Amino acid sequence: MLLTAKPFVEYKIQELKDKVSKLKTKPVLALIRVGNDPASVKYVSNKIKRCNEVGIESQVYELSEDVKQIEIVKLIDELNNDSKITGILLQLPLPEHLDEHYLTNQICPYKDVDGFTIWNTGSLSLGANCNVACTPKGIIDLMKYYNIEMRSKDVVIVNASNIVGKPLVQLFLKEGATPTICNSKTKNLKDKVKSADIVVLGTGNMNFMSADDFSEDTVIIDVSINFDENGKMRGDVVKEDYDKLIEKGCDITPVPGGVGQCTVIALLENTIDIHIKMNND
Ligand code: GUN
C-alpha cells in the first residue's frame, strides 16, 4: 500500500491543536534562516504555516547570505536567554563561510527542537530522553501509525547524514530492528536492498531504484526530495513503479505526500513537548 502522510498528519494536527489549547501559555518557536536557498525558504515557510495551524507562535529571523558568524552566535545567545522562547531552529544548510556544527551547538540543548546538538545526539545514542531529529522521528511515527512491525527486521538505510541516517539508526535500534547504514556507493548495495525487510532511501538521486530492485513485501521509506525537468517533486524510487511495487506486496511512502510532512509534525510535537517540560504546563 501507499503509506501516505495525509491521514497521519490530520490525526496529529488535531491532537497537537488540542494539546496546545490546554496550555496556560503559547509555545514560541524561533526559526533562523540564512540567505535565500530556495529549498530552505520553502521548508521554513511550511514550518511557519503548520505552527500557526496548531497554535504555536513563530518568530522568524531572516539573515543575509554574508552574515558574520558572531552575529548568529549573539542572536542564538539572546534566544537561549529569553524565557518566552520555547525552541530554536537554525535551518540547514548554511552558506560556506559559516560553521554548521559550531553554530548548531550554540543552541541550548533543551531548546534544540531539531535534536542536532552534541548533547541531544549523544543522549539519543545512549538511549536517554532527549529531543530527537525531526525527519527520523517523523519516519518512525508514520511507521507506527501504519502498524509496521520493526522488531527483528533487517533495515537498510541508504543515507549516512547527521540529519537523517545516523539518528535513524538509533531509533531503529530502540525498536529492536537491525539497521545497516549505507550510501549510494556502498559495495553490493543492490544485494543489501534486495535482502532487507525495510529500506530507507535518501540518496538525492531521482529514479535511483525501480520496482525490480526490491523483494516482495519490502517496506520502502523514500526520504528524498528531487525535482524533475518540469519542476515536479520526485523521490529516489521511480514513481511510475509504485503500482508494480504495491502488486508485489510492498509498502511505499510517496513523494510528494510522504515523509516530508511527517518531519514538520515531529517539529511541532518537539516544540510542544519542550514547552510542557519547561513550564510544567
Ligand atoms: N535542513 C533539512 N532538514 C532540516 C531539518 O530537519 N532541520 C533543520 N534545521 N534544517 C534542515
pLDDT in tens, the chain (281 residues): 999 999 999 999 999 999 999 999 999 999 999 999 988 999 999 999 999 999 999 999 999 999 999 999 999 999 999 999 999 999 999 999 999 999 999 999 999 999 999 999 999 999 999 999 999 999 999 999 999 999 999 999 999 999 999 999 999 999 999 999 999 999 999 999 999 999 999 999 999 999 999 999 999 999 999 999 998 999 999 999 999 999 999 999 999 999 999 999 999 999 999 999 999 77
Contacts of 38 (CB under 8 A, 6+ apart): none
Locate the ligand 1 atom nearest the alpha carbon of residue 133 and give its number.
Answer: 6
Contact 208/188 with Cβ under 8 angstroms?
no
Cα 91 to middle of ligand 1, angstroms: 5
> Which triple of cell numbers denotes residue 229?
525537468
Contacts of 226 (CB under 8 A, 6+ apart): 204, 205, 206, 233, 234, 235, 236
- CA 79 to each of CA 2, 46, 87, 90, 128: distance values in angstroms, whole numbers, following the listed order: 41, 22, 9, 12, 25
End-to-end C-alpha distance for the chain, whole angstroms: 39
C-alpha span between 122 and 259 (Å, rounded):
24
**Ligand 1 binding residues, C-beta < 6 A:** 89-92, 114, 134-135, 163, 263
> What pLDDT sits at residue 119?
98
Residue 32 phi, psi dihedral angles, 5° rounding? -110, 125
Beta bridge partners of 33: 62
Ramachandran assignment for 35, one of left (phi > 0), alpha (psi -120 to 50 degrees), beta (any other): left
Q: Which residue's CA is the nearest one to ligand 1's atom 9?
A: 91
> What pLDDT sits at residue 142?
98
pTM (2 d.p.): 0.96
> What pLDDT sits at residue 280?
77
Locate the ligand 1 atom nearest the alpha carbon of residue 263 and give its number.
Answer: 6
Q: Which residue's CA is the nearest one to ligand 1's atom 6?
A: 134
C-alpha span between 152 and 144 (Å, rounded):
15
Whose grid coordinates read 535500534? 173
C-alpha span between 206 and 228 (Å, rounded):
8
Ramachandran assignment for 147, one of left (phi > 0), alpha (psi -120 to 50 degrees), beta (any other): left
Asked if 91 is an active-site residue, the reply is yes
C-alpha span between 155 and 176 (Å, rounded):
11
Please report how the helices 259-279 and 134-145 are oriented relative to each other, as an axis angle in degrees rounded to 10.
Answer: 110
